[in-house]
Amino acid sequence: MATIFSRIIAGEIPCYKVAENDRFFAFLDINPLAKGHTLVVPKCETDYIFDLDDQTLADMMVFAKQIAAKIKEFSQCNRVAVVVLGLEVPHAHIHLIPMNSENDVDFRKEKLKLTPEEFANIALELNK
């Protein structure tokens, strides 16, 4: 069965898309730690990120780098954290999270509740 991220990539489940190319896809995390919290995923369905072949892993990081630059400009944050953790979705993904301090990347924190309009506006800004 396709993962929820594959179904998002296929357009079967809606998302707030941030970027896409032939091999990778980026969209806003629906439970964000901060405005601009984005997930970057490979279109090929692989559970564990280090099971990706070397070239895909390297290219995914370069794809993420381009998005991180947009998040940094949008958020005016010090840095964009790159986080790989969690077992929730068996489809490799990188979290990109605007950060000004290490506390901003604490996944135990309560997530933001954004309106559809807020999500859409963030995605619009990151698509520029």
> Would you tell me which residues interact with ligand 5GP (CB under 6 A)?
4, 13, 15, 27-31, 39, 85-89
Work out the angle between the directed axes of helices 116-126 and 54-75 (0-180°, nearest 10): 110
Could you tell me the smallest distance in angstroms from the CB atom of residue 101 to ligand 5GP? 20
Q: In a 10 Å sphere around its CB, with 0-12 CB exposed, 13-18 middle and 19+ buried, how is residue 108 labelled?
A: exposed
Return the structure tokens found at 110. 């309560």
Which phi and psi angles does 97 have, rounded to 5°? -130, 125
Which one is catalytic: 37, 91, 93, 95?
93
Closest residue by beta carbon to ligand 5GP: 86
**91 has catalytic annotation:** no
Please list the active-site residues. 93
